[in-house]
A and B are shown apart, each in its own frame.
Chain A
């Protein structure tokens, strides 16, 4: 059955358009204006090149963007290292400040100790006098 069916289908290949129709349509086709003027081969080549150049530019921009991104990420790492250096400097300054404060405290204690000793001497003198 399948063989017969395929044979029948192949026989449909004998269907042809009427010759009057073929001739008339051919004339109409050639008389019809072409919507898109045929591009000469040079123009088509130029168009294709333009497309390629566009694709290449886009790819370059993408690579540039990725490269810049990576570079700025690297810079970020470096700047964070500088910040840590500043911190160390700041810590050193803070330590110096502590040292100065300690000196002031020592001077204050020396001065106050002398005053206290003088007060004690006076108290002892008063006691002896009594």
Chain B
């Protein structure tokens, strides 16, 4: 969560629209990763992220925190956009044909960590999870959101989120050992 986020949003809603840039800079990488890991294709992900931020910008006047961070609202929009994407267009590209740039960016991350698990295999395995399990894995382990934030974004209870997380990790382990 961005420091002083609630105040910032109130200022933007009050007419200081230029401050939206701060929210954009903070949340763009998070939403981009979330969408890219779910969709797996760079150009398609960029289109979806574009729609997410245009939607957020256009509807910010109607946003009210109600105790939940702005990120929950933003992830909620992103999730719906990904659902719309899959509903309107059946993906034809296989996971093996993932965009080169996606692999390139990820390979940079691979260099940073000395890990035995193949990053590509993990990404492929994530995409084999159910959409809800994908959401939880990305939000919890990639974005480090709290269970409360994830629950708000997915409109579920914290208990349900923990259960999804447990199942997702088990499924990932099974998928990775089966490969």
Return chain A residues, CB-CB under 8 Å to B177. 1
In the complex, A16 Cα to B49 Cα: how many Å? 12
Chain B residues lying within 8 Å of A29, measured Cβ to Cβ, are 20, 24, 53-54, 57
Residues of B contacting A36 with CB < 8 Å? 58-59, 61-62
Residues of B44-64 whose CB lies within 8 A of A:
46, 49-50, 53-54, 57-62
Cβ B54 vs Cβ A34 within 8 A: no
Report yes or no: A14 in contact with B15, Cβ–Cβ below 8 A. Answer: no
Instruction: List A35-79 residues whose CB lies under 8 Å from chain B.
Output: 35-41, 44
The interface size bin for chain B is 35 or more
A39 to B14: give the CA distance in the assembly, Å.
7
Q: What chain B residues lie within 8 Å of A34 (beta carbons)?
A: 57-58, 60-61
Q: Report chain A residues within 8 Å CB of B176.
A: 1, 5
Q: Which among B81-89, B135-143, B148-156 touches the partner chain?
A: B135-143
Task: Decide: B119 and A17 in contact? CB cutoff 8 A.
Answer: no
Contact with A along B3-29 (1 / 0, CB 8 A): 000000010111101001100100011
Residue A107 lies at the interface, judged by CB distance under 8 Å to chain B: no
**Any A CB within 8 A of the CB of B106:** yes
Chain B contacts of A16 at CB under 8 A?
29, 32-33, 105
A26 near B21 (CB under 8 angstroms)?
A: yes
In the complex, chain A residues whose CB is within 8 Å of the CB of B13: 38-39, 41, 44
A4 touches B109 (CB 8 A): no
Inter-subunit contact B137/A14 (CB<8 Å): no
Candidates A7, A22, A40; contact of B15 at CB < 8 Å: A40
Indicate if the CB atoms of A5 and B53 lie closer than 8 Å: no
Q: Is B123 an interface residue (CB 8 A)?
A: yes
Please determine whether B109 and A5 come into contact, CB atoms closer than 8 angstroms: no
* Structural contact, A1 and B173, CB atoms closer than 8 A: yes
Q: Which residue of B17, B102, B122 is within 8 Å of A38 (Cβ)?
A: B17
Known: A8-B117, A29-B24. A13 touches B59 (CB 8 A): no
A12→B53 contact, CB < 8 A: no
Check if A15 sits within 8 Å of B36, measured CB to CB: yes
Bound CA span A1–B13, Å: 47
Residues of A within 8 A of B59 (CB): 35-36
CA A41 – CA B49 in complex, angstroms? Answer: 29
Q: Looking across the interface, which residue of chain A has its beta carbon closest to that of B16? A: A38
Which residues from A are CB-within-8-Å of B50? Answer: 25, 28
Please list the residues of chain B having a beta carbon within 8 angstroms of any beta carbon in chain A. 10, 12-15, 17, 20-21, 24, 28-29, 32-33, 36-37, 46, 49-50, 53-54, 57-62, 101-102, 105-106, 108-110, 112-113, 115-117, 119, 122-123, 137-138, 141-144, 169, 172-173, 176-177
Residues on A lying within 8 angstroms of B by beta carbon are 1-2, 4-18, 21-22, 25-26, 28-30, 32-41, 44
Mind listing 8 A-B residue pairs with CB under 8 Å? A2-B169, A5-B117, A9-B137, A10-B141, A14-B105, A28-B54, A33-B58, A35-B58
